[in-house]
Amino acid sequence: MVKINEHYANIGSNYLFSEVARRVREYKAAHPSSNVISLGIGDVTREIAPVVIQAIHAATREMASETTVRGYPPEAGYDFLVDAILERDFRARGVQLSPAEIFVSDGAKSDTGNIGDILGADNLVAITDPAYPVYVDTNRMAGRQVELLPCLPDNDFCPPFPARPADVIYLCYPNNPTGTTLDRSQLKRWVDYAIAHRSLILFDAAYEAFISEPDVPHSIYEIEGARQVAIEFRSFSKTAGFTGLRCAYTVVPEELTATDSSGAAVSLNALWRRRQSTKFNGTAYIIQRAAAAIYTPEGQRQTREIIDYYMQNARLIKEPLERAGLAVRGGVNAPYLWVKTPGGLTSWQFFDRLLGEARVVGTPGSGFGAAGEGFFRFTAFGRRREVEEAVERIIKIL
Ligand code: PLP
């Protein structure tokens, strides 16, 4: 008789975005001529950069010839992409990594979830609250105990240390959903904590490309000692519009270890390589060529232009809302704005009010964790005209 994984009973239903979609559908059905604008989801709205499209075309042509066709890719990525990553994302920032420490993949969502495959079920896992839901759900699926670290105005959205020493700690900076960052000294305190408690930091840097302030680290490896305690996740999804193309990478330093039941140190790099070579068959050649194209000077220019466009959207949301009296975080080093709901409304009450009165959709903060209650997330991934119109409508109903 087949048995299910009972731990799935400990995760909520996939409620947030499906509930948002349901309420929007119902509203549109009742108001067919209404023009609803969404500042809800973190997905691209601009076309993909020309260098990326050209690289896809060129790589597709290679696939059309017997002499240049490619089959299974190397599981951890082609050298041309790994070398570009090492040079542009790390060496240029003074961080030395080796090719064996980079694992190219099809997404940071799957990597941040799958990393649990190499970690014991008896680890205590600390996760910021609110958070990208994958961290909590995948750990609950595996039956791990989770301690939430509330990030609130009281602590300036900087996570407190766990009450009990945590074995594994998820940090996502710049943060989804709050848009906040940890500066160098704040991140150093977490690296020191992990060294002292022999914990592992899982650092999600999916929004690294949106950093504009100099004191915000782009990589956790800019902090001394981090190589001994941290895995870092990067993604091309938001950096270069790859949400539909799918490419990301994970860094697992060679000196990073965890202990087995006899207390012996085991290389996490070796375990992750073993995991990936068993369960993953590599990222498509065409997509890796597309990703490599963004590291060319023209690719850097084109992707920067797109990021600047989104960050201008962020300013166009943040400044008028602040002038209208709302408390708004984020939007400076991240494409998300985290807004305190006015008048003490719950996140969902504010959602209904915005939809009903302003015909604008955002994401209720409570969907990212209990500490998100009373907050609301707007995304800067929008079209300029719609962003401006949405902000005008929001201000009118405040
Ligand atoms: N990490 C964070 C914090 C995210 O917000 C997202 C997407 O929204 C991801 C990872 C997913 O990245 P990918 O598209 O590479 O799977």
| Res. 108 pLDDT band, cuts 50 70 90 | very high
Mean predicted confidence (pLDDT) in 134-147: 97
From the number of C-beta atoms within 10 Å of its C-beta (0-12, 13-18, 19+), residue 261 rates as exposed
In order, the DSSP letters of 310-356 are HHHHHHHHHHHHHHTT--EEESSSSSEEEEEPGGG--HHHHHHHIII
User: What is the predicted pLDDT for the residue at 45?
Assistant: 86
User: What is the predicted pLDDT for the residue at 44?
Assistant: 85
DSSP assignment letter at 106 = S
Instruction: Specify whether the CB–CB gap between 234 and 251 falls below 8 A.
Output: yes
- Which residue has its alpha carbon closest to ligand 1 atom 1? 206
pLDDT score of 238 more than 90:
yes
3-state secondary structure 276-306: HHHHCCCCCHHHHHHHHHCCCHHHHHHHHHH
Between the CA of 170 and the centroid of ligand 1 the distance, in Å, is 14
Domain with CATH 3.90.1150.10 in the chain: 7-45+298-397
Mean predicted confidence (pLDDT) in 55-80: 97
User: What is the predicted pLDDT for the residue at 21?
Assistant: 92
Q: Which tokens in the block code for residue 221?
A: 């490896």
DSSP assignment letter at 366 = G
User: What is the predicted pLDDT for the residue at 12?
Assistant: 78
Residue 9's contacts (CB-CB under 8 Å, 6 or more residues apart) are none
Between the CA of 328 and the centroid of ligand 1 the distance, in Å, is 22
pLDDT score of 136 more than 90:
yes
- The answer regarding whether domain 7-45+298-397 maps to CATH 3.90.1150.10 reads yes
| Res. 279 pLDDT band, cuts 50 70 90 | very high
Mean predicted confidence (pLDDT) in 270-287: 98
The structural architecture, per CATH, of the domain 51-296 is 3-Layer(aba) Sandwich (3.40)
| Res. 120 pLDDT band, cuts 50 70 90 | very high
Mean predicted confidence (pLDDT) in 201-209: 98
pLDDT score of 14 more than 80:
no
Cα separation, 136 vs 147, in Å, equals 9
CA distances from 235 to 23, 105, 240, 245, 344 (A): 30, 9, 9, 11, 36
Cα separation, 390 vs 146, in Å, equals 37
DSSP assignment letter at 64 = T
Between the CA of 304 and the centroid of ligand 1 the distance, in Å, is 19
Domain with CATH 3.40.640.10 in the chain: 51-296
pLDDT score of 17 more than 90:
no
Mutate to test the pocket of ligand 1, among 134, 170, 235 (most ligand atoms within 8 A of CB): 235
Query: For residue 58, what is the enclosing H or E element?
Result: helix 50-63
User: What is the predicted pLDDT for the residue at 16?
Assistant: 86
User: What is the predicted pLDDT for the residue at 103?
Assistant: 98
Q: Which tokens in the block code for residue 362?
A: 């955002």
User: What is the predicted pLDDT for the residue at 41?
Assistant: 84
User: What is the predicted pLDDT for the residue at 168?
Assistant: 98
Cα separation, 372 vs 378, in Å, equals 13
For residue 378, the cross-strand partners are 337
Instruction: Specify whether the CB–CB gap between 179 and 329 falls below 8 A.
Output: yes
Percent of the chain scored above 70 by pLDDT?
100
**Pocket lined around ligand 1, Cβ cut-off 6 Å:** 42, 107-109, 132, 172, 176, 204, 206, 235, 237, 243, 248
**Sheet containing 102-105: which strands, arranged edge to edge?**
102-105, 248-251, 230-235, 200-204, 168-172, 124-129, 145-150
When the pLDDT of each residue in the chain is averaged and rounded to a whole number, the result is: 96
What is the tens place of the pLDDT at every residue in 319-360?
A: 999 999 999 999 999 999 999 999 999 999 999 999 999 999
| Res. 95 pLDDT band, cuts 50 70 90 | very high
